[in-house]
């Protein structure tokens, strides 16, 4: 069975990737892995930003807002978190590129942060579920 991942926009394939090592050209795979190693810090910050339940809850809560924006006190009240926890976690989410802070102190998920969050939470979860189901067949 040959599996591949595609990203399509308006019927145009923007990205396509085989999901098994044997379907990669050896030199292309090596180049991609080397590039991934160089980008380690960026990926590490992103994965670290999502590697805690409170940060996931905060991102989920932001996604519930029409404008994807919440204030510091909203996180405290809506998620029953103390100020220190909110401060530490917003800092890590900002460092990971998943949040920005406006001049009026409100936190927002930027467009790139939205895509990264959806890919690493919802899309990855669903893809892994499909792969597990295929494995069971």
pLDDT in tens, 58-91: 999 999 999 999 999 999 999 999 999 999 999 9
3 found inside a domain: no
Using a pLDDT cut of 90, give the percent of the chain over it.
81
14 found inside a domain: no
9 found inside a domain: no
The tally of domains found in the chain comes to 1
Q: What pLDDT, on the 0 to 100 scale, is given for residue 137?
A: 78
- First-to-last alpha carbon distance for the chain, in angstroms, is 12
CATH of the domain at 62: 1.10.10.10
63 found inside a domain: yes
55 found inside a domain: yes
> Can you list the positions of beta strands (E) in 1-137?
4-9, 12-18, 69-71, 100-101, 106-108
| Per-residue pLDDT reduced to its tens digit, 99-109 | 999 999 999 99
1 found inside a domain: no
Domain span at 73: 46-114
Q: Binning pLDDT at 50, 70 and 90, where does residue 134 land?
A: confident
68 found inside a domain: yes
Tokens of 48: 């670290």
98 found inside a domain: yes
Question: The dihedral of CA 19, 115, 125, 91: what is its sign?
Answer: positive
Asked if the model's pLDDT at residue 94 lies above 90, the reply is yes
The answer to whether the beta carbons of residues 18 and 4 sit under 8 Å apart is: yes
The answer to whether the beta carbons of residues 54 and 79 sit under 8 Å apart is: yes
**Prediction pTM value:** 0.79
């Amino acid at each position: 069975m040959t599996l591949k991942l595609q990203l399509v926009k308006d019927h145009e394939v923007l990205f396509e990737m085989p999901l098994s090592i044997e379907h990669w050209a050896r030199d292309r795979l090596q180049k991609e892995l080397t590039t991934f190693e160089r980008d380690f810090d960026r990926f590490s910050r992103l994965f670290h930003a999502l590697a805690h339940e409170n940060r996931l809850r905060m991102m989920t809560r932001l996604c519930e807002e029409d404008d994807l924006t919440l204030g510091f006190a909203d996180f405290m009240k809506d998620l029953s978190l103390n100020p220190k926890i909110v401060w530490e976690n917003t800092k890590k989410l900002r460092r990971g590129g998943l949040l920005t802070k406006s001049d009026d102190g409100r936190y927002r998920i930027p467009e790139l942060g939205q895509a990264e969050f959806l890919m690493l939470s919802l899309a990855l979860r669903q893809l892994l579920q499909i792969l597990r189901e295929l494995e069971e067949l």
